[in-house]
Amino acid sequence: MMRAIATIARIVLGGLWIHEGLVKYHAGFGKADILLVVQSAQQNGRVPGFFRFFTDHVLARAPGLFGFGIPLLETGIGIVLVLGVFTLPVALISVGQLCTYWLADQLIAQYPIMIALSAAVAVFATEASRWNVTRVRPPARRIPAR
């Protein structure tokens, strides 16, 4: 039962990440959006100083790269989670990415749900990855030796 619940959580989380990435692609997410995050972090008292330092010295120096990379990362996280491979590292990457959104005060309604799912998938990574793309196909038939 736990295996099924963990697998469903992994697939739902993957679907949410794919959705996030595709929404950004369709909306034309890019350099300007990253620069808005940088500007918002500078003006927002709720953003911790260390994260403001990160936005000023990392994001602001390569906004085009991050504008292209963030939707790619989100979509990639989703695809890998749906496939069920590298479950633990990808669930931890998911937690980390969601924490950066939280630190940037860019929180939207589904992020708390996604971080809870990410944490659950990470804790139950073994169960969550029992059913994956490598175990969906039928076992190879053995040809008897002559």
pTM of the model: 0.86
For residue 12, pLDDT beyond 60: yes
Output the pLDDT for position 146. 66
Q: Contact 12/69 with Cβ under 8 angstroms?
A: no
Gap between the Cα atoms of 74 and 76, Å rounded: 5
Asked whether 36 and 97 are in contact (CB, 8 A), the reply is: no
Tokens representing 13 are 């989380």
Domains of the chain, residue spans: 2-133
pLDDT at 140 over 60: no
